[in-house]
Amino acid sequence: MIRKEYTADLEKLKVDVLKMGELSKESAKNAINALVHRDMELAAKILKENVIIDNLEFEIEHMCIKLIALQQPTAVDLRMIETSVKIITDFDRISDLAGDIARIVLRIADEPFVKPLIDIPRMSEISQGMISDCLKAFSDRDIKALDDFSARDDVIDALFDQVRRELITITIERPRGIENASHLLFVALHLERIGDHACNIASRIVYMVTGENRKFE
């Protein structure tokens, strides 16, 4: 009976971690959609739903502590619990960064962009794909899709550098656009950080599956 409860608790942990990951990914996706489409309602919704993610993080942490204290898991199960505790922190930071982007959307409202939104949506698309691959790898214990994470993160970093250079040039040529450029630069910076968090998650999942400490950066 105790073993059945333990197995059920591990399965619930897995389900809740995946749920939190999906919610965080959706927040990040919606934040850029809100920016592109000037959707104030969507931006406000992101901020409200961040509370749900915060509460879920607390519940998962409590569940992990309970499992370690009462069940004394070993080997594979222990790595899964350790990984869960680590990656929910990254998921929480991703949702926080999405919230920061949502606040920028609310702040700039209908203000014209100083440059077309081309590279920023591309950064978002790549980071969303990385998070999706992390969730699948965590669920299936198959890490093949994570092998190119460093390369994908390099692409995000290169896009960020490109956006930064373009915005600096724009502010030199058009000083009145400096505030709008600053907002877009922060959006790009937040997306770059989301890519970094995805790499952190991938590293922890590799450890969960193989016991190997592999760093993606």
Domain boundaries of the chain, sorted by first residue? 2-210
Helix/strand/coil (H/E/C) assignment for every residue in the chain:
CHHHHHHHHHHHHHHHHHHHHHHHHHHHHHHHHHHHHCCHHHHHHHHHHHHHHHHHHHHHHHHHHHHHHHHCCCHHHHHHHHHHHHHHHHHHHHHHHHHHHHHHHHHHCCCCCCCCCCHHHHHHHHHHHHHHHHHHHHHHCCCHHHCCHHHHHHHHHHHHHHHHHHHHHHHHHCHHHHHHHHHHHHHHHHHHHHHHHHHHHHHHHHHHHHCCCCCCC
Q: How confident is the model at residue 4 (pLDDT cuts 50, 70, 90)?
A: confident
List, for residues 66-97, the tens digit of each pLDDT value: 999 888 888 899 999 999 999 999 999 999 99
Q: How confident is the model at residue 2 (pLDDT cuts 50, 70, 90)?
A: low
Q: What is the pLDDT of residue 168?
A: 95
The answer to whether residue 217 scores a pLDDT higher than 70 is: yes
Q: How confident is the model at residue 6 (pLDDT cuts 50, 70, 90)?
A: confident
Bigger pLDDT: 105 or 72? 105
The answer to whether residue 117 scores a pLDDT higher than 90 is: yes
pTM of the model: 0.95
Q: What is the pLDDT of residue 135?
A: 98
Burial of residue 175, with CB atoms counted within 10 A of its CB: 0-12 exposed, 13-18 middle, 19 or more buried: exposed
Q: How confident is the model at residue 30 (pLDDT cuts 50, 70, 90)?
A: very high
The third-level CATH classification (topology) of the domain covering 2-210 is Methane Monooxygenase Hydroxylase; Chain G, domain 1 (1.20.58)
Q: What is the mean pLDDT of residues 144-154?
A: 97
